[in-house]
Amino acid sequence: MAALVLARAGHRVALLDDGGQSPPPDGPVFKIGEFLPPAARPLLNDLGLLDGFLAAGHPSSTGTYAAWGSAALHGRSHLFDPYGHGWHLDRLRFDAFLRDAAVAAGAELRRATVLERLDDRLIVRDRVTGAVAPLSAPWTVDATGRRCVIGRRHGHRRRQDRLVAAYAVFPDRPRSQPEDLEARTLVEAAPHGWWYTTRVPAGRLVAHLTDADLATPSLRTPQGFWSALSHTVHVRRRLAGHGPAATPVPRWAPAHGLRLTPAAGPGWVAAGDAALAFDPLSSQGILTALHTGARAGRAVADCLADGGRSRASLADYTAFLDGIAAAYRRNHAYAYDQEQRWPLSPFWGRRRTANSPAAA
Ligand SMILES: Cc1cc2nc3c(=O)[nH]c(=O)nc-3n(C[C@H](O)[C@H](O)[C@H](O)COP(=O)(O)OP(=O)(O)OC[C@H]3O[C@@H](n4cnc5c(N)ncnc54)[C@H](O)[C@@H]3O)c2cc1C
């Protein structure tokens, strides 16, 4: 987003992307983070990207089901959402669409890993040749996700908790079995964390969210993952027709809330997860990454247009992040407060303590 905004403003932009992690040998190529909320519609529209996005045909999401605060499953529909339905993204295709839009606006895409920033130069390793060379860049937008390659050297990163996700994508059921047509995401609270499951292009994603120190090592094996999910009530029903033998090797990803302060300084700005990463319960990470990316691009364009306004535009950007972070904290506290069934569970106890007025 930042590259798109800056290229459209007429600046020379290098978009350096290392292409992500290597795909696992045993499963589909897949990037976690798939639900895009309805509120993305006006943002994509403002950026002139809505038609192209809609043409890509990402499946609609009509709502969610949750067993949260009680064992009963409650549905929430997007029917009354002012922006309509959300989407189950094919993340890799969506990310490629955004890269292509930035390139079409004039950004130069390079498969390269940013190693560090030294004054107004980036030290960059080319992914194709392996050559390491400096790149002159008076301004850098750090959009490297939780790795936060540049920002972590300039700011302080505060973790909210130790949340991790163990997840697996179950391939589609054989044709002899009924097709899995359930389009809504399902969230289910459990004694030591929570689960969610949703359809993705590669099949059905199942993820377990818990704290790193509470996650048993068996969650790393297909059998252990299957055994843990068979203790759920609703998620396991979505997995009817699957079994331990067909369970893929689970992957793990960090999922804790994270805030970088400051998130901008002379010559650099952080956006997306690099600036502000959320507990996935919020389902706001992608939308926030789009929003902060576009705002970071505008802040840099302002700084480039008029050095004297630099401070004000960076301060505006920081205030914008403060507002998002405050809303996130409130919503996070409210959501976890709704679940009171396991008073002795460390997972839920930690969140109650962290959200208590005394901790604020
Ligand atoms: C389990 C889980 C489920 C989630 N579910 C959802 C969901 O349903 N909806 C939602 O909105 N959000 C969800 N999220 C959050 C969402 O995935 C993130 O908020 C979002 O991906 C952030 O986008 P980003 O562009 O900031 O970072 P990323 O998507 O992490 O992208 C960072 C990019 O930078 C590149 N990069 C990294 N380091 C370098 C380097 N040194 N040099 C060059 N390039 C580099 C990477 O290859 C990558 O392309 C979920 C997160 C988790 C952990």
| Beta strands 163-170; 251-254: pairing state | antiparallel
DSSP annotation of 183 reads: -
- Report the SS3 class of residue 303: helix
Q: For residue 272, report the distance from its CA to the centre of ligand 1, in Å.
A: 8
CA–centroid distance, 32 to ligand 1, in Å, is 8
Residue 351 CA to chain centroid, in angstroms? Answer: 21
> Listing from the earlier edge strand, what are the strands of the sheet with 203-211?
74-77, 63-67, 185-190, 193-200, 203-211, 163-170, 251-254
Domain residue ranges in the chain: 163-254
> pLDDT truncated to tens, each residue of the chain (360 aa)?
999 999 999 999 999 999 876 555 565 678 899 999 999 999 999 999 999 999 999 999 888 999 999 999 998 877 777 888 999 999 999 999 999 999 999 999 999 999 999 989 999 999 999 999 999 999 999 999 999 999 999 999 999 999 999 999 998 876 677 777 787 899 999 999 999 999 888 889 999 999 999 999 999 999 999 999 999 999 999 998 888 888 999 999 999 999 999 999 999 999 999 999 999 999 999 999 999 999 999 999 999 987 656 789 999 999 999 999 999 999 999 999 999 999 999 999 999 867 665 554
- Nearest atom, ligand 1, residue 285 CA: 19
User: Ligand 1 centroid to 282 CA: how many Å?
Assistant: 14
Identify whether the C-beta of residue 258 lies closer than 8 Å to the C-beta of residue 146: yes
Domain 163-254 sits in CATH at 3.30.9.10
Nearest CA to ligand 1 atom 30: 145
Please tell me the distance from the alpha carbon of residue 220 to that of residue 233, in angstroms, as a whole number: 21
**Which residue type, as a one-letter code, is found at position 335?**
A
Measured distance between the N- and C-terminal CA atoms of the chain, rounded to whole angstroms: 33
CB contact at 8 A, 194 and 234: no
Instruction: Indicate if ligand 1 lies below 6 Å from the C-beta of 32.
Output: yes
| Backbone phi and psi for residue 82, each to the nearest 5 degrees, phi listed first | -60, -25
Q: Does ligand 1 have an atom closer than 6 angstroms to the CB of 279?
A: no
Task: Count other Cβ atoms within 10 Å, centred on residue 350.
Answer: 15
**Torsion angle of C-alpha atoms 280, 347, 198, 160, degrees rounded to 10:** 10
Point out the ligand 1 atom lying closest to the alpha carbon of residue 115: 41
Q: Name the pTM for this structure.
A: 0.94
Q: Is 310 in the pocket of ligand 1 (CB under 6 A)?
A: no
Q: Which residues contact 153 (CB under 8 A, 6 or more apart)?
A: 116, 117
Ligand 1: residue of 286, 291, 292, 331 to mutate (most ligand atoms within 8 A of CB) is: 286
CB atoms within 10 A of CB 355: 17
* Residue 350: half-sphere exposure toward Cβ, Cα within 13 Å: 14
What is the position in ligand 1's atom list of the atom closest to the CA of 146? 30
d(CA 232, CA 236): 6
Q: Do residues 56 and 97 make contact, with C-beta atoms less than 8 angstroms apart?
A: yes
How far, in Å, from the CA of 39 to the mean position of ligand 1? 19
| CA triple 146-147-152, angle to 5 deg | 100
Choose which residue among 32, 35, 58, 269 to substitute to test ligand 1 binding: the one with the highest number of ligand atoms within 8 A of its C-beta: 32
Distance 145 CA to ligand 1 centre (A): 5
Alpha helix ranges (H) inside the chain: 2-8, 40-46, 50-55, 91-104, 151-154, 222-229, 235-238, 285-305, 310-337, 346-355
Could you identify the atom of ligand 1 that is nearest to the CA of residue 113? 42
For strands 193-200 and 258-261, give the pairing.
unpaired
Rounded Cα–Cα distance for residues 160 and 263 (Å): 16
* Ligand 1 close to Cβ of residue 63 (< 6 A): no
Are the CB atoms for 300 and 6 separated by under 8 Å?
yes
> If 0-12 CB within 10 Å is exposed, 13-18 middle and 19+ buried, where does residue 178 land?
exposed
- What was the pLDDT predicted at 62? 84
Largest CA distance in the chain: 68
Looking at the chain, the number of H-run helices and the number of E-run strands are: 10, 20
Which residue puts its alpha carbon closest to atom 1 of ligand 1? 165
